[in-house]
Amino acid sequence: MADLPTLPPAARPGDALTAIDTPALVLDLDAFERNLDAMQAAATAAGVALRPHAKAHKTPAIALAQVQRGAVGICCQKVSEALPFLQAGITDIHISNQTVGPAKATLLARMARHGRFSVCVDHAQQVADLAAATAAEGSTLRIFIEIDIGQGRCGVADAPAVLRLLEALAPHPQLHFAGLQAYQGGVQHVRGHAQRRDAAARAAERTAAVVAALAAAGVACPVVTGGGSGSVEFDLASGVYTELQPGSHVFMDGDYGRNEAGTALRFEHSLFIASTVMSVGGGGRCILDAGLKSLAVDSGLPAVWQDGAPSTTLAYTAANDEHGIVRLADGAAAGATLPPLGSQLLLVPGHCDPTLNLHDQLVVVRGGVVQALWPVAARGLSR
């Protein structure tokens, strides 16, 4: 058994993009860095803290690049997801979500011994679980009370409910009230720029009303955190948020690409699936090696990308587990042909977050040359 092969890497630094063994998740480093720089510059100019969401990338190398540019820390959506980031040296992590039960509270309380951690609550039982775990572990947590500002997901309804949760927090000095989380996911994907601006304004108004009611009751909210890639330009200007949590802007997936962008803050596609034509079937179609196990289709099928722009010739029309079917696009020029067997095609996935969760590594490319492989270390960590 001694000469059994091991799996070779998909690529090595110095390889050409076209030589990557596919399917592979590819990051265009130039576009990615411009996205990070644009987001940090906008936050800095507005005097708002940037705490980018790491659930989009699950990649410690990206979190470190964000913190190096000025991010105050990161968000994670799950407790276990935070662990690889802490191990990589990211020590300021907000769990932008609720947890219940001793297992998660205990892991969070243990991690909190090594950094500045926070988490959301919207029920006294969550407070009790966190209080017990932090007391046992001898750690402290910053607590955000989440309010529902229209998404209809987690969060309490109003300021009186916030005040009731503050009473539940009061007996536990190791749990510090840090402020409010107010996130409205539905706003992010409103397509029209003006409509999205109006939807973000309504969400910010609901947030401001709760902050004002709490102030009238003598309660200050040091931090108001929320926002995502689709609303961030409006949230920055709202005067309501002190901290923003965009995630997908680093990649700009196909779904965000369908939003009408404004002029203030624009992001570029930096994330691609490199795939290969592995069969040309019976003609009239070609078959790629990238299907459902390489990309998420909950926000639509991927776009085929050619010469730095969406292809007007080729359309990805169906995804099987390990096959992608490509045909000539409606409206392709007369005489257009399908790519031959062995051709590499780049795809822009519809939704970045679940796509990242399908891959162990990002192949990082600049100018068509592989620079590095970045482990997607938090892949699969959904507990």
Binding residues vs Mn ion (CB under 5 A)? 353
Tokens 């996205």, residue located: 35
Minimum CB separation of residue 119 from Mn ion in Å reads 20
* Binding flag, residue 53, ligand PLP (CB under 6 A): yes
Q: Quick one: what does residue 228 bind among Mn ion, ligand PLP, none, with the CB cut-off 5 to 8 Å set by partner type?
A: ligand PLP
Q: Which of Mn ion, ligand PLP, none lies near 188, with the C-beta cut-off 5 to 8 A by kind?
A: ligand PLP
Among 228, 291, 324, 349, binds ligand PLP (CB under 6 A): 228
User: Applying CB under 6 A, which of residues 10, 11, 39, 56 lies at the interface with ligand PLP?
Assistant: 56
The residues that bridge with 39 in the sheet, in sequence order, are none
**Residue 247 touches ligand PLP, criterion: CB under 6 A:** yes
By beta-carbon proximity to Mn ion, the closer residue of 167 and 298 is 298
* Binding partner of 255, given Mn ion, ligand PLP, none, CB within 5-8 angstroms per partner class: none
Beta bridge partners of 326: 286, 316
Q: Which is nearer to Mn ion, 243 or 353 (CB)?
A: 353
Q: Distance between CA 48 and CA 25 in Å, rounded?
A: 32
If DSSP codes are grouped into helix, strand and coil, which group holds residue 145? strand
For residues 333, 338, 343, 348, the Cα torsion angle rounded to the nearest 10 degrees is 60
Minimum gap (Å) between residue 75 Cβ and ligand PLP: 6
| CA–CA separation, 196 and 210 (whole Å) | 22
Interface pattern 95-134 for ligand PLP (x via CB under 6 A): -x--------------------------------------
**Is the previous residue joined to 340 through a cis bond, with omega within 30 degrees of 0?**
no
257 binds, among ligand PLP, Mn ion, none (CB under 5 to 8 A by kind): none
| Nearest distance in Å: CB 356, Mn ion | 10
DSSP summary character for residue 53: B
231 lies in the site for ligand PLP, by CB under 6 A: no
Owner of token pair 């990309």: 295
Q: Which does 134 bind (CB under 5 to 8 A by kind): Mn ion, ligand PLP, none?
A: none
Sequence letter at residue 380: G
Nearest to 245 by CA among 260, 230, 255: 230
Nearest to 180 by CA among 209, 153, 216, 152: 209
Quick one: 58 or 359, whose CB is closer to ligand PLP? 58
359 SS3 class:
coil
Question: Which of Mn ion, ligand PLP, none sits in contact with 9, Cβ below 5 to 8 A by type?
Answer: none
Q: How far is CA 377 from CA 68, 86, 88, 131, 373, in A?
A: 19, 11, 10, 29, 12
Q: Which stretch binds ligand PLP (CB under 6 A): 158-166, 171-179, 181-189, 317-325?
A: 181-189
Residue of 163, 104, 98, 96 lying closest to 137 (CA atoms): 104
Give the separation between CA 118 and CA 325, rounded to whole angstroms. Answer: 44
Partner that binds at residue 66, options Mn ion, ligand PLP, none, CB closer than 5 to 8 Å by kind: none
Query: Where does this chain bind ligand PLP (CB under 6 A)?
Result: 53, 56, 96, 183, 185, 188, 228-229, 245-249
